[in-house]
Structure 1
Amino acid sequence: MTATMLRDEADLLARTLLDAVPGLVVTAWGSTARRERTPSSDLDLMCWNPGGAELPALTVQYAQYLDLVACTGGRGALRGFATANATDLHAVMFSEVIGGDPALVSAFEEVVGDLWRDSRLRAQEVCHLLATAVLLPAVHGATLYRPEKFALGATRCWTALAECGALIEGRSRHHATEPVLGALAAQGLVEPGAPAAFATAMRLRRDCEQGRTSHREQQVRRAALAAEFLASVRRLLDRRHDWLAANAPLDSEVLQQLAAVLTGTAIPARAEGTACRSEPQAMLQVFLAGSARQVRAQLERAYGGSWWVRHAALMNPHTDAATLRLIVRQSASHRRRWADRNLLLYALRHPNASQGLLDDIARRGHPLRPMDCEAARAAAAALADRRSHHSR
């Protein structure tokens, strides 16, 4: 499968949607929009369907999986859809229109423009992206899902860094990661070697997905990439500290703690469960919480029901089994199921996932995607291994 084949398939599926249902906008997002194909790439499409008409079933030939995100309703619904969680925010903000009714395409682009003009939203997402890129592999360790993509210094770290640069600047100049990193390096916002590091990470990922190298072999080769990535994060946070503090808004101390934790430059006192001045600050205090009690306290305060705050709890190793179950229960309502779909996934993958969590999911009838089922099987196997170990 080549990048051209994947994009041709995206165009074909978009045409299938547009021919079947008038009044749609279909866009590419993620690696499909960036044209950064690997053997395990998904096909990422987004459909704005204002009329709510039923969409035809689609199948993919070349991609591993079709990740079709769909929004119904008018412009207000589209903005609400985009701001409900980080995945759908990126599907809208970093979209590339493939086709659609011209008037609707214009309306779609106006909503996208409004999102890009929202500096508070952009600042919040920068903090979310950087914290997730660093803390996810730290929390999951040896059990990390697809380390060739999500490990520290692997491809997702670099695409997130490029997206952060675009979010800080306030516009997406390029879809591809490497030219964005090149522009950031030219401005001194990331390390000069960042573009080459991303290219190396892509080669390592393709080698791994094609079975040419093992995860263990990759760990050694990725160590330098991880160091380069952390240096770039440190540089970006240092040079854009004032912008983030002003636009999120954030207390400077919390932002300094985040920078220290993410880059390993210090071991600061963890943020306490005090009142927060903004949703981004609540999110960061959950990322930084040093105990299960602190995580739970933040979830019970203002902003605790926010997707960003609950997601941060799933990136914290101290989040206990009871809090994971709370997050899943909060996601059970029909209104929240779509927006919270990845919270369920990360709860299943969290090292503290329990049998009770699996039972909750089974009882509540959560609609599971193939990746959710895989995560549930992995969690069940890990729990069985633990029980076997303790019984010896």
Structure 2
Amino acid sequence: MELTQPYADPQPFLKTLSWVDWAYALLLLAGGVFALNRYGVYMDAYEKGFLFGAVAGFSWLGWFWKPVRPLIVGIAGLSLFGVTQYHADLARANQAFFLKFLFASQSAVMWMNVLFVLAMLTYWAALFSRSQFTGKVASSLTWSAVLMGFTGLMVRWYESYLIAPDVGHIPISNLYEVFILFCLITSLLYLYYESRFQTRQLGGFVLLVVNAGVGFILWYTFDRQANGIQPLVPALQSYWMKIHVPANFIGYGAFSLAAMVGSAYLLAQRGILASRLPALEVLDDLMYKVIAVGFAFFTIATILGAMWAAEAWGGYWSWDPKETWALIVWLNYAAWLHLRLVKGLRGPLLAWWALIGLLVTTFAFLGVNMFLSGLHSYGQL
């Protein structure tokens, strides 16, 4: 009797790639070479390394999650177009049509804010109307908001060098910039899981926390007038910032997403919107996967932060309030994962824990800056 294998041996990943996949990677590589030729004079060795590390990373991301390709190409195209409109003159931000109304950093971020608000309202309309078309519109609005937000950050990066070469830096150095990053990362994480789990019904919940970030950005811009580009304080003049901060905010974004999934779970478990929301098992599984991803990146960010602290302040750990609360956040989600994986706990307790965990994370992110002082006092409101 001829024996048959129950499944075929998987092919090596690279052999599964099509010519379109390789063309996408080559396009990113060409963009990296162009950026190096044009702006390499402003880059140090670390920034050049990050540039081509980003090319490799985004190539892999586009292979793994194909819907993100148009976003990456769109960000590159719109950013380069915006940059070329300046003609090395920052004053053109308020003069050139495309900069003033679309692609200057402030204009693009304002478009991001508007699109996130519209996306949230459209997601809720889709949930109550059960309209697939309306849900697709909401997803498109969210993708558009992410496109404009990242375009704004990229153009802002160039604007910082137009102020002065020694002022130029990656735009993740103050609360205005990192709140933009938070909105973008949280939305991207949601869009990934939306496509994977078919959970468009959760968009309205997730966009609530994203739009809380939008509200902060607007308040910080119009009330505090604190959205300007400032020189980096000495402690932030480090290549560690370029990897520590994004890793940290992938963690923050994932924990925020998990909290909103938890809130949907608690509503559905009580029969509220239960017929419109995904099954409880799906929500529970999604909550676990998101927290696992967030915990991994938050762990990496904490290790990177300790290495940065050793370089900047001479010690890996000093029990600074920011460090202490980062440890509290880490322990909180380590305990959540322990109960889920080792004890097999499921259900509303973990949903409540994820929701309350957002409060702990928010205090670590923002409350420490408001009420406590320490080595991280450069992030105060």
TM-score (norm 2): 0.32
- Structure with greater helix share of residues: 2
- Structure with greater strand share of residues: 1
Please tell me whether Structure 1 or Structure 2 has the larger radius of gyration of its CA atoms.
2
